[in-house]
Chain A
Amino acid sequence: MEMEKKIKAGDVRAASRLIRNIEDNVPEAKATIKHIFHYTGNAQVVGITGSPGAGKSTIVDGLIEASRKRDKTVGVLAVDPTSPFTGGATLGDRIRMQRHAEDPGVFIRSLATRGSLGGLSKAVGDAIHVMDAMGKDIILVETVGTGQQEVEIINHAHTVLVVLVPGMGDEIQALKAGIMEIADIFVVNKADREGAGKLQRELMIMLDMSPIPPEGWRPPILTIGNSFKPEEFERDIEKLSNNIYQHYDHLVSSNLIGDRLRRRTMHELNEALRSSILEPVLNILVSTGELDRMVEKLLKKETDPCSLSEEVARKYLQGCI
Chain B
Amino acid sequence: MTERKIRIMVAKPGLDGHDRGARVLARCFRDAGFEVIYTGCHQTPAQIAASAMQEDVDVVGLSCLSGAHRYLFPQVVQLLREKGADDITVIGGGIIPEQDFQKLYDAGIKAIFTPGSTLDSIVDWVKKNIKPVE
Residue pair B4, A24 in contact (C-beta under 8 Å): yes
* A197 at interface, CB cutoff 8 A: no
Residue pair A98, B51 in contact (C-beta under 8 Å): yes
* A136 at interface, CB cutoff 8 A: no
Residue pair B36, A88 in contact (C-beta under 8 Å): yes
Contact with B along A226-244 (1 / 0, CB 8 A): 0000000000000000000
* A87 at interface, CB cutoff 8 A: yes
List CB contacts (< 8 Å) of A1-27 with chain B. Answer: 12-13, 16-17, 19-20, 24-27
SS class, residues of chain B in contact with chain A: mixed
Residue pair B43, A98 in contact (C-beta under 8 Å): yes
List of A residues within 8 angstroms of B85 by Cβ: 13
* Contact A112-B54, Cβ < 8 Å, known A25-B2, A83-B30, A102-B47: no
Query: Closest Cβ of chain B: how far from A91's Cβ, in Å?
Result: 5
* A94 at interface, CB cutoff 8 A: yes
Number of A-B contacts (CB under 8 A): 94
* Contact A109-B55, Cβ < 8 Å, known A88-B31, A102-B47: yes
Total interface residues on B, CB under 8 Å, equals: 35
List of A residues within 8 angstroms of B54 by Cβ: 12, 16, 101, 107-109
* A89 at interface, CB cutoff 8 A: yes
* A90 at interface, CB cutoff 8 A: yes
A112 and B30 alpha carbons, distance in the complex (Å): 11
Query: Closest Cβ of chain A: how far from B126's Cβ, in Å?
Result: 12
Residue pair B30, A101 in contact (C-beta under 8 Å): no
For A12, A95, A101, the residue with the greatest tally of chain B CB atoms inside 10 Å of its CB is A101
A112 and B83 alpha carbons, distance in the complex (Å): 26
* A210 at interface, CB cutoff 8 A: no
Residue pair A101, B47 in contact (C-beta under 8 Å): yes
Which chain B residue has the least Cβ–Cβ distance from A18? Answer: B56
Query: Closest Cβ of chain B: how far from A248's Cβ, in Å?
Result: 25
* A86 at interface, CB cutoff 8 A: yes
List of B residues within 8 angstroms of A24 by Cβ: 1-5
Contact with A along B1-45 (1 / 0, CB 8 A): 111110100000000000000000011011111111111100110
List of B residues within 8 angstroms of A101 by Cβ: 39, 43, 46-48, 50-51, 54
List of B residues within 8 angstroms of A98 by Cβ: 39-40, 43, 47, 51
Contact with B along A18-44 (1 / 0, CB 8 A): 011000111100000000000000000
For A82, A87, A110, the residue with the greatest tally of chain B CB atoms inside 10 Å of its CB is A110
A94 and B43 alpha carbons, distance in the complex (Å): 12
Residue pair A91, B39 in contact (C-beta under 8 Å): no
Residue pair B30, A86 in contact (C-beta under 8 Å): yes
Query: Closest Cβ of chain B: how far from A100's Cβ, in Å?
Result: 9
- Cross-interface CB contact of A12 among B37, B38, B53, cutoff 8 Å: B53
* Contact A102-B46, Cβ < 8 Å, known A17-B56, A24-B2: yes
* Contact A86-B51, Cβ < 8 Å, known A17-B56, A20-B56: no
Residue pair B38, A16 in contact (C-beta under 8 Å): no
A108 and B46 alpha carbons, distance in the complex (Å): 15
A109 and B54 alpha carbons, distance in the complex (Å): 6
A226 and B35 alpha carbons, distance in the complex (Å): 31
Residue pair A92, B30 in contact (C-beta under 8 Å): no
Residue pair A90, B30 in contact (C-beta under 8 Å): yes
A9 and B87 alpha carbons, distance in the complex (Å): 22
Instruction: Jot down 17 A-B pairs with beta carbons below 8 A, ordered by A.
Output: A12-B53, A13-B83, A13-B85, A16-B53, A24-B5, A25-B1, A88-B31, A90-B27, A90-B38, A91-B55, A94-B39, A95-B39, A101-B46, A101-B47, A101-B51, A102-B50, A112-B35
Q: Which residues of A contact B (CB under 8 A)?
A: 12-13, 16-17, 19-20, 24-27, 82-83, 86-92, 94-95, 98, 101-102, 107-110, 112
Q: Which residues of B contact A (CB under 8 A)?
A: 1-5, 7, 26-27, 29-40, 43-44, 46-48, 50-51, 53-56, 83-85, 133
